Amino acid sequence: MILNENLYTLIPLIPLAGAAINGLFWRKMAGNVSGYLACATVLASFVLSVMAFFQLIGLPAGTERVIHWTVYDWIAVGTFKAPLGFMLDPLSMTWLLIVTGVGFLIHVYSVGYMAHEEEYSRSRYFAYLNLFIFAMLMLVMGDNLLLMFLGWEGVGLCSYLLISFFFDKNFCAEAGQKAFIVNRIGDVGFVLATVWTFATFGDIVFPGLFEALKEPALHPGSLAITCIAILFFVGAMGKSAQIPLYVWLPDAMAGPTPVSALIHAATMVTAGIYMLCRMSPLFAMSPSALEFVAIVGCATALFAGIIGLLQKDIKKVLAYSTVSQLGYMFMAVGVGAFTAGVFHVTTHAFFKALLFLGSGAVIHALHGEQDIMKMGALKKKLPGVFIVFAAGSLALSGFIPFAGFFSKDEILFSTFVSHKYVLWGIGVLAAGITAFYTFRLVHLTCSGESRMPREAADKIHPPPKSMSLPLWILAILSVVGGFIGIPAAFGLPNILGEFLEPTFAQAHHLLGGHGEHSHSTEFLLMGFSMAVVITGFFLAWLVYGKGMARSERLSEAYSNFHRIVSNKFYVDEAYNAVVVRPLRKAADFFGRGDLIVIDGLVNLTGGIVNILGIIVRVFHTGVVRSYAFWIVIGMIVALWVIAG
Amino acid sequence: MAYPLQNYLVLSALLFGIGMAGFLYRRNVIVMFMCVELMLNAVNLTIVAFAAHHGLNVGTVYALLIITVAAAEAAVGLAIIISIFRLKGTLDVDEYDQMKG
Amino acid sequence: MENLIFYILAAVTLCGGLGVVFMRNPVGSALSLILALLGMACVYLTLSAEFLAAVQVLVYAGAIVVLFLFVILLVNQEKAPAGGFSRLRLVVPVAVIGVSVFWACLLSRIESPEVFADPSLGSGTEAAKLLFTTYIFPFEAVSIILLASMIGAIVLAKRKGVK
């Protein structure tokens, strides 16, 4: 059925209203009302998104499969137009469903997870969460770069608000600050790229922009296009935590676990991928930029994976895993396999959210314990959690036929087929590392001997329904979610690929098709990656399978390696020394300068007035006759002036 | 009959100058006031002279109004002087320096 | 020589003025002020402003200067009258008078139209005609000023504590 497009304007607005109500009326919110309200708003958005989806696929396939409407002419100055408009095409539709769907599940989970907080805090939390959904929806639904940037900034803001949710703890506040600032650095790239795009192509509204990109007359030369593309990628680096701007994501784990699941696994960090996919026609015009993206993504995948090998905090392992998987997505985009990137975003949203929420259940059960060295043997006490956790881990490692397998395999296949063998090799290595640390995580948390202190072990209780239900739903999605993107080799339709084809048609046209490789190559590569995954599992079992003894011996034997990797390659310390401390010193310097110079100037003005007063006071002798004298003088001068 | 205009203007200017000189020169505040009256008169003469030489009657009216205002001003001014004399005990203008600074 | 009368009148007026400035006794200053005003009244007569001359004598010389005299005598000075001449030297008044002489010489160069006014123009009737029609507003305003100053003078000059 065809509905009025303006109905879909409600999709971002309903969560915004929820945020406003929760934010303004927090005093009146009793018990769990704030949570229910927040869940209801996101559910409403999800339902509307599903309706929009069905309307969208009702449209004929091809470039007409777009619902585009303008609500209001926001900015129109000269040739610069930035309307308040929304565009639903297959790409944004995908994101819409992920954001509202997974978002809804996480909202439900949050109701259970945050039940211990006091009501005022809960209202604040749900207000922020709804606000985040609003911003993310604006980001993906906006039809021009400015609106996307509005959402971009909005999610950055909400990320800050939610990371530093427990703001009375210093490290939370600092983590929030770090996230916001590092994001900002990326945003500079985004803004510069937007401005440059407008200057070159004269339009920032997407349909018009993509038409302008086809005009050969407007092409400014490959260097300029590469620069614009790389500037956009810098923005993505900040938002999606690639090297060198990834350092905020591990620290962001200071926020509540559902926040980590929603923002730092499923939605906000994927905004960078979304932006690159949206600007795919631009990127396709610059192969060197794409190459750069691929290299950075690949390096990040490996680097973060290595760091994740030795982390002790359950959430930090998952954080570095997220960074690593994001690297995979960028690698996919970098070799021109946009669909593979989007596919991995979707599956990653499922299984990473699942893993985070599962770890949240573990933390909740252990009353706040996050150190995996102090866990173990949870599969007996929390069997349900163990099962979903295992499902998520298998998906993450890329075990057939779980979701992660198909998406990761498609990425690696595309890389191989584009003749980027080095990148492929590193990608495979990173997949092995992923399998290793995933097994390590699950084993140390759930299997083996219990390393929990006695009191903690006695107080374990299983998670409430509100938490376990989303876990099960996500687990099911992690298992079957991969089937929407089955490669052609199996003879089944690639649903996602066909769905997304119109969006990427322009880019694919510019890049030229990949060579058709035989299906046998594909099966061969699939088998090879499975073998790597199994090897990773095996090696991890060797090290950690039988208690901690072997791992401790290894860490002593290779103590240097162990130390460097456990300390995250000292990247944070390096940043601190090279960037943060000099900046602080400069800020101090300018601060004192401000005190001396600017305050001095202001005081000087006052001082001048003071001196003038002293001078003028000379005339106030109080002697009447001197007044008379000056009156006469003044009269003479006035007459002189009048007479000319 | 009417003398040439310049005569009146010269007289007026001289009278005004004398009045101003007295205003700056004398220290007795009442005499200063009298010099102000002299200046007012000089101005009066100028106005009437000009008006008469244009054949207008306005000068008379104008001068009338000025005289009236001068009377009012004299009344109030002298009242003030009396008050100050009661306060200060002297009519020497140089002693009235309380507004110094 | 046809201006002889004018010169005599002018001399009288100026002498009166000088007397105001240079007489030591304030009563003497007041009396020379009367002389100057009477001279001015005669000058008005030459301009055919008879009404104005009459008003000048009645109001200015007759009322205002009398007021001055009252105040001078009220402010009782047993010893020599206070406030002699300024500690400044004679230079100041001389300079001022000199400047005005110079200015007067400039003015005497003005060529004026010899318009002979209708002698009847200066009469009271003519003045009244203007005063009560075109200039009614200033007339009323001035009367209010007089009222205000009257009240003000009474209030200001009252001794404290006297109802």
Residues A604 and A515 in one domain: no
Q: What is the pLDDT of residue C140?
A: 94
Residue A413 belongs to a domain: yes
User: Is the Cβ of B4 closer than 8 Å to some Cβ of chain A?
Assistant: no
Set of chain B residues whose Cβ sits within 8 Å of the Cβ of A628:
23-24, 32
| B23 Cα to chain A: minimum distance (Å) | 8
Task: Convert the pLDDT of each residue in A267-282 to its tens digit.
Answer: 888 899 999 999 888 8
Write down the CATH number for the domain with range C1-82.
1.20.120.1200
User: How far apart, in whole angstroms, are the C-alpha atoms of residue A481 and residue A98?
Assistant: 12
Helix, strand or coil for residue A144? Answer: strand
**Given CA atoms A237, A241, A245, A248 in this order, what sign does their dihedral have?**
positive
Q: Do A622 and B20 touch (CB under 8 A)?
A: no
Asked which of A495, A527, A562 is the last residue of a domain, the reply is A562
Give the residue on C whose Cα is nearest the Cα of B5: C112
Q: Do B101 and A624 touch (CB under 8 A)?
A: no
DSSP letter at A335?
A: T
Residues A475 and A599 in one domain: no
Quick one: pLDDT band at residue A216, thresholds 50, 70, 90? confident
DSSP letter at A313?
A: B
Using the structure block, give the residue that is written with the tokens 């900034």: A153
Q: Please report, for chain B, the start and end positions of each structural domain, with discontinuous segments joined by +.
A: 5-90
> What percent of chain A lies above the pLDDT cut of 70?
95
Residues A615 and A518 in one domain: no
> What percent of chain A lies above the pLDDT cut of 90?
20
Residues 6+ apart with CB under 8 A from A555: A562
Name the least confident of A392-396, B27-31, B97-101, C35-39.
Answer: B97-101
Write down the CATH number for the domain with range B5-90.
1.10.287.3510
Average pLDDT of every residue of chain A: 84
Q: Do B18 and C10 touch (CB under 8 A)?
A: no
| A640 Cα to chain B: minimum distance (Å) | 16
Using the structure block, give the residue that is written with the tokens 């994501």: A249
Q: Do B48 and C49 touch (CB under 8 A)?
A: yes
Name the least confident of A299-303, A526-530, A560-564, B6-10.
Answer: A560-564
User: Is the Cβ of C76 closer than 8 Å to some Cβ of chain B?
Assistant: no
Nearest-CA neighbor of A130 among A158, A164, A157, A109? Answer: A158
User: Is the Cβ of C21 closer than 8 Å to some Cβ of chain B?
Assistant: yes
> Among C33, C103, C153, whose Cβ lies nearest the Cβ of B75?
C153
User: How far apart, in whole angstroms, are the C-alpha atoms of residue A508 and residue A327?
Assistant: 21
Q: Do B76 and C116 touch (CB under 8 A)?
A: no
Nearest-CA neighbor of A459 among A357, A382, A371, A358? Answer: A382
Name the least confident of A38-52, A288-302, A462-476, B33-47.
Answer: A462-476
Quick one: pLDDT band at residue A297, thresholds 50, 70, 90? very high
Answer yes or no: are the C-beta atoms of A121 and A34 closer than 8 Å: no
Set of chain B residues whose Cβ sits within 8 Å of the Cβ of C44:
45, 48
Q: What is the pLDDT of residue A301?
A: 92
Helix, strand or coil for residue B99? Answer: coil
Give DSSP secondary structure letters for A187-219: HHHHHHHHHHHHHHHS--BHHHHHHHHH-GGG-
Q: What is the pLDDT of residue C147?
A: 95
How far is C-alpha A486 from the chain's CA centre?
26
Task: Convert the pLDDT of each residue in C97-107 to its tens digit.
Answer: 777 877 777 77
Residues A547 and A612 in one domain: no
Q: What is the pLDDT of residue B2?
A: 63
Set of chain C residues whose Cβ sits within 8 Å of the Cβ of B76:
149, 152-153, 156
pLDDT at C16 exceeding the cut of 90: yes
Quick one: pLDDT band at residue B5, thresholds 50, 70, 90? confident
How far is C-alpha A622 from the chain's CA centre?
75
Residues in chain C: 163
Asked which of A516, A534, A562 is the last residue of a domain, the reply is A562
Tokens for A221, please give them: 């030369």
Q: Do A622 and B24 touch (CB under 8 A)?
A: no
Residue A129 belongs to a domain: no
pLDDT at A329 exceeding the cut of 50: yes
Residue-wise burial string across A429-454, b where 16 or more C-beta atoms lie within 10 A, e elsewhere = bbbbbbbbbbbbbbbbbbbbebbbee
Phi, psi of A291 (to 5 degrees): -60, -45
pLDDT at A1 exceeding the cut of 50: no
Name the least confident of A401-410, A496-505, C148-157.
Answer: A496-505
Answer yes or no: are the C-beta atoms of C28 and B39 closer than 8 Å: no
Residues A558 and A479 in one domain: yes
Q: pTM value?
A: 0.70
User: How far apart, in whole angstroms, are the C-alpha atoms of residue A550 and residue A528?
Assistant: 28
Domains in chain A, number: 2
pLDDT at C17 exceeding the cut of 90: yes
Segment A627-635 mean pLDDT: 83
Q: What is the 3 state secondary structure string of chain C?
A: CCCHHHHHHHHHHHHHHHHHHHCCCHHHHHHHHHHHHHHHHHHHHHCCCHHHHHHHHHHHHHHHHHHHHHHHHHCCCCCCCCCCECCCCCHHHHHHHHHHHHHHHHHCCCCCCCCCCCHHHHCHHHHHHHHCCCCHHHHHHHHHHHHHHHHHHHHHHCCCCCC
Is residue A216 reached through a cis peptide bond, with omega within 30 degrees of 0 on the bond before it?
no
Answer yes or no: are the C-beta atoms of A468 and A571 closer than 8 Å: no
Answer yes or no: are the C-beta atoms of C47 and B48 closer than 8 Å: yes
Name the least confident of A221-235, A382-396, A561-575.
Answer: A561-575
Q: Which long-range contacts (CB under 8 A, 24 or more apart) does A527-532 make?
A: A528/A428, A529/A398, A529/A405, A529/A408, A529/A409, A529/A412, A529/A428, A529/A431, A530/A398, A530/A399, A530/A400, A530/A405, A532/A428, A532/A429, A532/A431, A532/A432, A532/A435
Nearest-CA neighbor of A338 among A164, A172, A514? Answer: A514
Using the structure block, give the residue that is written with the tokens 């020169």: B25
Give the residue on C whose Cα is nearest the Cα of B42: C40
pLDDT at C77 exceeding the cut of 70: no
Segment A404-425 mean pLDDT: 85
pLDDT at A233 exceeding the cut of 90: yes
Q: What is the pLDDT of residue C88?
A: 60
pLDDT at A624 exceeding the cut of 80: no
Answer yes or no: are the C-beta atoms of A248 and A178 closer than 8 Å: yes
Q: What is the pLDDT of residue C65?
A: 95
More confidently predicted of A66 and A438: A438
Task: Convert the pLDDT of each residue in B51-85 to its tens digit.
Answer: 888 777 888 899 999 999 999 999 999 999 988 88
| CA distances (Å), origin A603, targets A417, A588, B70 | 70, 21, 49
Residues A379 and A497 in one domain: yes
How far is C-alpha C162 from the chain's CA centre?
34
Q: Do A625 and B27 touch (CB under 8 A)?
A: yes
Residues A605 and A486 in one domain: no
Chains that touch A (3 or more CB pairs under 8 A): B
Q: Do C92 and B85 touch (CB under 8 A)?
A: no
Q: Do B100 and A622 touch (CB under 8 A)?
A: yes
Residue type, C40: M
Q: Please report, for chain C, the start and end positions of each structural domain, with discontinuous segments joined by +.
A: 1-82, 123-163
Instruction: Show the domain range for A379.
Output: 290-562
Asked which of A562, A582, A603 is the last residue of a domain, the reply is A562
Segment A621-640 mean pLDDT: 81
Q: Do B96 and A632 touch (CB under 8 A)?
A: no
Give the residue on C whose Cα is nearest the Cα of B82: C157
pLDDT at A2 exceeding the cut of 60: no
Phi, psi of A76 (to 5 degrees): -145, 95
pLDDT at C136 exceeding the cut of 60: yes
Tokens for A524, please give them: 């061969």
Quick one: pLDDT band at residue B37, thresholds 50, 70, 90? very high
More confidently predicted of C119 and A564: A564
| B47 Cα to chain C: minimum distance (Å) | 11
User: How far apart, in whole angstroms, are the C-alpha atoms of residue A377 and residue A374?
Assistant: 10
Q: What is the pLDDT of residue B34?
A: 93
Nearest-CA neighbor of A359 among A439, A437, A476, A446? Answer: A446
Phi, psi of A160 (to 5 degrees): -60, -45
Q: What is the pLDDT of residue C85?
A: 61
User: How far apart, in whole angstroms, are the C-alpha atoms of residue A440 and residue A541?
Assistant: 8
More confidently predicted of A151 and A509: A151
Provide the pairing of β-strand A67-77 with A80-88. Answer: antiparallel
Residue type, A200: T
What is the rounded (10 degree) CA torsion for B58, B61, B67, B70?
A: -80
| B62 Cα to chain C: minimum distance (Å) | 9
DSSP letter at A487?
A: -
pLDDT at A263 exceeding the cut of 90: no
Quick one: pLDDT band at residue A330, thresholds 50, 70, 90? very high
Give DSSP secondary structure letters for A2-33: ---GGGGGHHHHHHHHHHHHHHH-GGG--TTH
Residues 6+ apart with CB under 8 A from A190: A149, A152, A231, A232, A234, A235, A275
Nearest-CA neighbor of A100 among A169, A39, A181, A168? Answer: A39
Q: Do C47 and B2 touch (CB under 8 A)?
A: yes
Tokens for A223, please give them: 């260097």
Nearest-CA neighbor of A523 among A369, A644, A397, A413? Answer: A413
User: How far apart, in whole angstroms, are the C-alpha atoms of residue A358 and residue A384?
Assistant: 10
